[in-house]
């Protein structure tokens, strides 16, 4: 597991190699699209190993998330080695665990939650805590958040004893205090919003709320809610209810439902306090792309509208 293989070149693998290991700084969010899922999985299994450095792991996380790549779950389950010796090791393991928690089965998520406890117990620096907050965001586990909050508070007390005579400790204290009181708190509030939406029994009403987040309407905490909403909207096509949306599945009828809900959202877009007039064109482009993404049809004039106005707009739910 420790040495990456150099796979024979297959269609799309050159794009994955560039995106994961040599990304353009201006296109680090532009996951290569339209690739066969099994081919993407084989590339990752060959090239991403326990020793892979942090930046490529972060890029891999985006690919696994975008493709809902459950095929790599067995591979990623084997990557954490429980031998973290420094902050860099801890951050790498955090990203690995977070990646399979994004897409894998409940037993895998339980494994991730248990492994997270180990990582929190080893953590002591702000970059580690920041990565762990994103892991807790995926796990949506109140006990994990509480453990992390306690660990950060312990580090704050340690810095408090030093900051009067150590300028570096003072800076670290201020940054860590902000992270604890603001970012971790926002993560917790976002988790509460997610739980409320998941509890909506009516599928169409639930999808409407998820679309609103995707369109940045009516909700805050977007740093934690936006990617979650993208993920949720894809999973709404796997089964009627969240409990039935564990295993990726292709269901044409459920996809059409989401396309219709985006069409309804498009029809309801009007200037308001939540939708500034200057954002309408961008939101219409986003809706039309999502209609197509979920298998709906757009007219020739709508297609021309998208081509004219999309520019460099990056929409997660687009072909």
pLDDT tens readout for residues 1-21: 556 666 566 779 999 999 999
What are the backbone angles phi and psi of residue 130, rounded to the nearest 5°? -65, -40
**CB-count exposure of residue 170 (10 Å: 0-12, 13-18, 19+):** middle
pLDDT for 10: 77
Q: Quick one: tokens of 124?
A: 């002591």
Reported as a single tens digit per residue, the pLDDT across 19-72 is 999 999 889 999 999 999 999 999 999 999 999 999 999 999 999 999 999 999
Report the phi/psi class of residue 31: left, alpha or beta, with left for phi > 0 and alpha for psi in -120 to 50. Answer: beta
Alpha-carbon torsion, ordered 49, 55, 60, 63, to 10 deg: -170
Please give the mean pLDDT across all residues of the chain.
93
129 neighbors 179 (Cβ within 8 angstroms):
yes
57 neighbors 92 (Cβ within 8 angstroms):
yes
What are the backbone angles phi and psi of residue 118, rounded to the nearest 5°? -60, -45
Return d(Cα 190, Cα 265) in angstroms, integer.
23
Collapsing DSSP to helix, strand or coil, 106 comes out as helix
Return d(Cα 176, Cα 217) in angstroms, integer.
30
pLDDT for 90: 96
127 neighbors 87 (Cβ within 8 angstroms):
yes
57 neighbors 99 (Cβ within 8 angstroms):
yes
Q: Quick one: tokens of 204?
A: 């169409």
Give the H or E element holding residue 302: helix 300-309
pLDDT for 81: 86
Q: Which pLDDT tens digits describe the chain residue by residue (319 residues)?
A: 556 666 566 779 999 999 999 999 889 999 999 999 999 999 999 999 999 999 999 999 999 999 999 999 999 999 998 899 999 999 999 999 999 999 999 999 999 999 999 999 999 999 999 999 999 999 988 888 899 999 999 999 999 989 988 899 899 999 999 999 999 999 999 999 999 999 999 999 999 999 999 999 988 899 999 999 999 999 999 999 999 999 999 899 999 999 999 999 999 998 887 788 989 999 999 999 999 999 999 999 999 999 999 988 999 999 8
Q: What is the DSSP-derived secondary structure letter of residue 183?
A: I
The sign of the torsion formed by the CA atoms of 198, 286, 293, 42 equals negative
pLDDT for 145: 87
Q: Which residue has the tokens 């994961």?
A: 20
pLDDT for 114: 94
Return d(Cα 230, Cα 227) in angstroms, integer.
5
pLDDT for 7: 55
């Amino acid at each position: 597991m420790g040495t990456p293989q150099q796979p024979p070149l297959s269609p799309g693998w050159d794009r994955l190699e560039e995106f994961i290991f040599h990304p353009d700084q201006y296109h680090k969010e532009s996951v290569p699209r339209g690739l066969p899922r099994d081919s993407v999985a084989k590339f990752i299994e060959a090239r991403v190993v326990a020793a892979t450095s942090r930046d490529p792991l972060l890029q891999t996380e985006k690919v696994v998330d975008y493709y809902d790549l459950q095929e790599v779950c067995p591979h990623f389950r084997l990557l954490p080695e429980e031998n973290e010796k420094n902050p860099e090791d801890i951050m790498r393991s955090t990203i690995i665990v977070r990646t399979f928690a994004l897409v894998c089965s409940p037993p895998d998520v339980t494994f991730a939650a248990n492994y997270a406890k180990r990582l929190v117990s080893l953590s002591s620096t702000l970059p580690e805590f920041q990565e762990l907050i994103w892991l807790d965001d995926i796990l949506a586990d109140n006990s994990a958040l509480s453990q992390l909050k306690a660990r950060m508070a312990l580090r704050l007390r340690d810095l408090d004893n030093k900051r009067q005579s150590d300028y570096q400790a003072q800076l670290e204290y201020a940054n860590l205090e902000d992270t604890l009181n603001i970012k971790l708190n926002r993560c917790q509030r976002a988790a509460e919003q997610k739980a409320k939406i998941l509890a909506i029994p009516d599928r169409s009403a639930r999808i409407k709320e998820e679309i609103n987040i995707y369109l940045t309407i009516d909700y805050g905490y977007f740093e934690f809610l936006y990617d979650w909403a993208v993920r949720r909207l894809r999973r709404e096509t796997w089964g009627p209810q969240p409990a039935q949306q564990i295993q990726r599945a292709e269901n044409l009828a459920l996809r059409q439902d989401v396309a219709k809900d985006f069409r309804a959202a498009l029809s309801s877009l009007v200037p308001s306090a939540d939708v500034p007039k200057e954002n309408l064109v961008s939101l219409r482009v986003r809706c039309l792309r999502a209609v197509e993404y979920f298998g709906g049809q757009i007219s020739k004039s709508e297609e021309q509208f998208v081509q004219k106005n999309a520019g460099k707009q990056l929409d997660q739910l687009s072909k």
